[in-house]
Amino acid sequence: MKNSIDEKIIAYISQKNQASPIELVGYLSISRQTVAKKLKKLIEQGKLSKTGAPPKVFYSLASPKELTANKVVTVLAPDIARIINERYLYTSPAGEMKEGVAGFNYWCNKTGQPVKKTAQEYIHTLAKYDAYKKHGYINGMKKFRSTFTEIFLDEIFYLDFYSIERFGKTRLGQLLLYAKQGQNRRLMNQLVNDIRPHVEYLIAEYRIDAIGFIPPTVKREVQLMHELKRRLAVPQRNIALTKVTSDVAVPQKTLSKLEDRIENANKTILLTEKQPEKNILLIDDAVGSGATLNEVAQKLRTQNLCTGKIIGLAITGSFKRFDVVSEV
């Protein structure tokens, strides 16, 4: 009896260690569509793992831990499953993302944790942090008041915390990190889709006239903030913010002292703006200390460029009074 296509794929990858879809098309003499379907099925069965993104994708045999992680699927109560499907994201060390209940099962099995018990603990932990949310926003003013002697923002909101105890980076925290580090436009687009309703709500709620996107320090071919500005495509006018550097570009995330962060923001972000506006929304990707947003708001005030309110919005923020969100 001839081996099935699945068995041939497994045998070929076992011999070669890894293989691309193009290699398998040539080896099996079948269509790309058929190979794609077979690979997808073998991934879902947990027999293969995938590394990379089109056009550079490679498949290898799943490790013993991956086989164990994929083997057992625990059915969760509908209310718990709904929340986990909305909130949970697992990113493997190789960069494979698994969302929702499937990702949660995988992580629990891989780390040897009971799925049902851990799911209940995850829901309990989410509830603890969600207590800081109102209408889908975390109000960061309490943290700002305990950090700065003078606050120049009227409100500061986060869409989620960057990470939570035990379970690590939140879904938004992971999307933000890997979108920036990998300069991944697909993940950036996913972020835009997630945050768009929140941006539109704040624009309407506070009658925003202009928006300022905090400029990046680290040079990248694909900049997250530039992509957010382009993809959000809001009708409000953009406030002209410019990031300048001296001999060395020093990112905020590398500074552990609050006073250093304040000095960094004050001296490296310039307003080349002339036209005053009434209400302004400032958008940043992540807030550790909040120094950047507060210093930009101060410049808007002292240069008489805002006659109304300044609202700050960050995709993620730190939970403690002053955390260095160093990864992003």
pLDDT in tens, 286-299: 998 899 999 999 99
58 and 165 together in one domain: no
Residue 90 sits in the same domain as residue 231: no
Q: According to the model, what pLDDT value does residue 69 have? A: 58
According to the model, what pLDDT value does residue 87 have?
Answer: 97
pTM reported for the whole predicted model: 0.81
- Assign 196 a pLDDT band (cuts: 50, 70, 90): very high
211 beta partners: 238, 281
Mean pLDDT within 276-291: 94
Weakest mean pLDDT among 74-78, 217-221, 236-240: 217-221
- Which residues are bridge partners to 48 per DSSP? 61
Residues 25 and 77 in one domain: no
End-to-end C-alpha distance for the chain, whole angstroms: 55
- 122 in the same domain as 22: no
Q: Which residue has the higher pLDDT, 256 or 28?
A: 28
Residue 20: predicted pLDDT: 92
Q: In which domain, by residue range, is 183 found?
A: 133-317
CATH of the domain at 9: 1.10.10.10
Q: Is residue 323 part of a domain?
A: no
- Residue 257 domain-assigned? yes
Our CA dihedral for 46, 47, 50, 56, rounded to 10 degrees, sits at -150
Kindly tell me if the per-residue pLDDT of 300 is higher than 70: yes
d(CA 143, CA 109): 37
Quick check: is 322 in a domain? no
Domain boundary among 130, 151, 170: 130
Render 195-212 in DSSP notation, one character per residue.
HHHHHHHHHHHTT--EEE
- pLDDT at position 265 is 87
Average pLDDT rounded to a whole number, residues 187-191: 95
> 207-226: per-residue pLDDT in tens?
999 999 999 888 888 999 99
Note the pLDDT tens digit of each residue in 18-56.
999 999 999 999 999 999 999 988 987 878 888 877 778
Instruction: Report how many domains make up the chain.
Output: 3
For every residue of 211-252, DSSP letters joined together read EEEPPPSS--SS-HHHHHHHHH--SSEEP-EEE--SSS---G
pLDDT of residue 239: 95
User: What tokens appear for 163 in the block?
Assistant: 């990470």
Residue finishing a domain among 62, 89, 107: 62
Q: Are 73 and 98 in a shared domain?
A: yes
* CATH number of 230's domain: 3.40.50
The answer on 306 and 294 residing in a single domain is: yes
- The domain boundary, picked from 22, 40, 62, lies at 62
| Rounded Cα gap, residues 303 and 297, in angstroms | 10
Residue 55: asked if its preceding bond is cis (omega within 30°), the reply is yes
306 falls within a domain: yes
Quick one: 212 and 272 in the same domain? Answer: yes
Is residue 325 one of the residues assigned to a domain? Answer: no
Of the candidates 311, 253, 262, the one whose C-alpha atom is nearest the C-alpha of residue 148 is 262
Instruction: Note whether residue 167 is domain-resident.
Output: yes
- 85 and 157 in a single domain? The answer is no
Q: Is the domain of 213 the same as that of 241?
A: yes
pLDDT band at 1 (very low <50, low <70, confident <90, very high): very low
Q: Examine the domain organization and report whether 102 and 202 are in the same domain.
A: no
Q: How confident is the model at residue 71 (pLDDT cuts 50, 70, 90)?
A: low
Same domain flag for 99 and 246: no
pLDDT tens track for 95-146: 888 999 989 998 998 898 999 999 999 999 999 999 999 989 999 998 899 8
**Closest by CA position to 324, among listed 269, 252, 244, 250:** 252
What pLDDT score was predicted for residue 255?
A: 81
Q: Report d(CA 256, CA 268) in Å as an integer.
A: 17
25 within some domain:
yes
Residue 122 shares a structural domain with residue 138: no
| pLDDT score for 272 | 86
Residue 182 lies in a domain: yes
